Amino acid sequence: MKLKIALLAGDGIGPEVTQEAVNVLNAVAASGGHTFEYVPLLIGGAAIDAHGTPLPDETLQATLACDAALLGAVGDNKFNKLAPSERPEAGLLKIRSELGGFANLRPAVAYKALADNSPLRPEITEGADIMFVRELLGGLYFGQPRQWDKQTGRAHNTMVYTQEEVERVARIAFDIAAKRPKRKLTSVDKANVLECSQMWRFVVDQVAKDYPTVTVEHQLVDSMAIHLMNRPRDFDVVLTENLFGDILSDESGVITGSLGMLPSATLGGKVNLYEPVHGSAPDIAGQGKANPIGAILTAAMVLRFSANLEREAKIIEDAVVKVLEAGYRTSDIARGDIAGQTKVSTMEMGRLVLDRVEAEL
Ligand code: NAD
Ligand code: IPM
Ligand code: MN
């Protein structure tokens, strides 16, 4: 199998974790006789520094010519004073909208080996396995008009959804739920206040009629934030709009033990976009402290959704579990007070996973 992958490493820890993901992909390619070609491209702060824009046209065109895009992270504190449209994050939002993927899958799994890393008690997290389906191209992120009028001291953003936008992402979430053992879908909204959410709920109920095997429930986003922490095992597929999904998926890092563990895949557009959930982590960038597991699990999603290599994706996911069970920890998941843990760097963690992947391929 041949795959051309746009490599959008980005800023901060982005390049550090992306390299570890690529190493694992290369092992899969070497053992299976696959050809993965990488096209390194600038995005975010790195692109602003080189070309004055967070998404150069060359990056966009070259990515559109690839089969998949693997992104590290964008953002740096030095751009904090820029307007939203000029910041590194604008490059990410633009490429998301140009690639067209609207269904952002963000799995959050409670690993047994990390049970003591979560601030939640092990009996709360044990067995938790949630698939967030975050709508990625609508809502407040892209709604017009938007402005900060410094003259009048008034700023506004607009939350907009069309029924079609809700329906297409809901169908993907229901398709996923119908294939999972629990077959449950929780739709999260703010239907007690927002018209967008009332329409969201209406459309989800319409789509639900086509999926009689899936149990559907609706939750308001504010109480969902606490239900997720109190009883994460009760959730299976969680479908929600763009901003709510952004917030709840970061929150789910608590279930897993670290934001650095979470992968994502964005489907439904011209080119699938794969990125870990975490950001550029300027506080630890360049120190070899970043946890590459989120990026490595993202590589597994590339294999699953863009290469149809399910067995290899599973080998990567299992290798991560084995490394955690052997006690290896980057600093975000290390606990000095627990015996049997070995603290490792980003590269060491990448190598440990790679060794186990190579042994199983
Ligand atoms: P962040 O996710 O970068 O970091 C939050 C906290 O989690 C930090 O303490 C960080 O050290 C830690 N962390 C994150 N990833 C980690 C990893 N792999 N290993 C170990 N620790 C990790 O969020 P933030 O600090 O709010 O944002 C920093 C910048 O990243 C901002 O510019 C933001 O816009 C950007 N951002 C980008 C993306 C993306 O490109 N997909 C996602 C989120 C945030
Ligand atoms: C994420 C990030 C992005 C988002 C930012 C950096 C634009 O937080 O991927 O979760 O809000 O979608
Ligand atoms: Mn986020």
Q: What DSSP assignment string belongs to 182-236?
A: S-EEEEEE-TTT-HHHHHHHHHHHHHHTT-TTSEEEEEEHHHHHHHHHH-GGG-S
Q: Which of 11, 76, 111, 141 is catalytic?
A: 141
Residue 246 Cα: closest atom of ligand 2: 10
Q: Is 250 a catalytic site residue?
A: yes
Residue type, 246: D
Query: pLDDT tens, position by position, for the chain (361 residues)?
Result: 999 999 999 999 999 999 999 999 999 999 999 999 999 999 999 999 999 999 999 999 999 999 999 999 999 999 999 999 999 999 999 999 999 999 999 999 999 999 998 999 999 999 999 999 999 999 999 999 999 999 999 999 999 999 999 999 999 999 999 999 999 999 999 999 999 999 999 999 999 999 999 999 999 999 999 999 999 999 999 999 999 999 999 999 999 999 999 999 999 999 999 999 999 999 999 999 999 999 999 999 999 999 999 999 999 999 999 999 999 999 999 988 889 999 999 999 999 999 999 999 9
Would you state the pLDDT for residue 336? 84
- Residue 8: C-alpha distances to residues 16, 84, 158, 336 (Å): 12, 20, 29, 34
Record: fold of 1-110+259-361: Isopropylmalate Dehydrogenase (3.40.718)
Q: Which residues contact 255 (CB under 8 A, 6 or more apart)?
A: 108, 109, 110, 118, 120, 125, 128, 130, 228, 229, 232
Rounded to the nearest angstrom, the distance between the alpha carbon of 281 and the centre of ligand 1 is 4
Where are the domains positioned within the chain? Answer: 1-110+259-361, 118-129+137-256
Q: What angle do CA 35, 37, 38 make, to 5 degrees?
A: 150
According to DSSP, residue 101 is labeled: -
Q: What is the 3-state secondary structure (H, E, C) of 304-347?
A: HHHCCCHHHHHHHHHHHHHHHHCCEECHHHCCCCCCCCEECCHH
Question: Is 0.90 surpassed by the pTM of this model?
Answer: yes
Q: Which helix (H) or strand (E) holds 72?
A: strand 68-73
Measured from the alpha carbon of residue 260, the closest ligand is 1
Rounded to an integer, what distance in angstroms lies between the CA atom of residue 138 and that of residue 164? Answer: 11
Q: Known binder of ligand: residue 288? A: yes
Measured from the alpha carbon of residue 139, the closest ligand is 2
* Average pLDDT score over the chain: 98
Name the residue with the closest Cα to ligand 2, atom 11: 246
Residues belonging to the chain: 361
Q: How does pLDDT run across 223-250, given as a tens digit for each residue?
A: 999 999 999 999 999 999 999 999 999 9
Rounded to an integer, what distance in angstroms lies between the CA atom of residue 230 and that of residue 233? Answer: 9
**1-110+259-361 and 118-129+137-256 share one CATH topology?**
yes
- Homologous superfamily of the 118-129+137-256 domain (CATH): Isopropylmalate Dehydrogenase (3.40.718.10)
For a pocket test of ligand 2, which of 13, 77, 89 has the largest count of ligand atoms closer than 8 A to its C-beta?
89
CA atoms within 13 A on the CB side of 358: 11
Q: Known binder of ligand: residue 291? A: yes
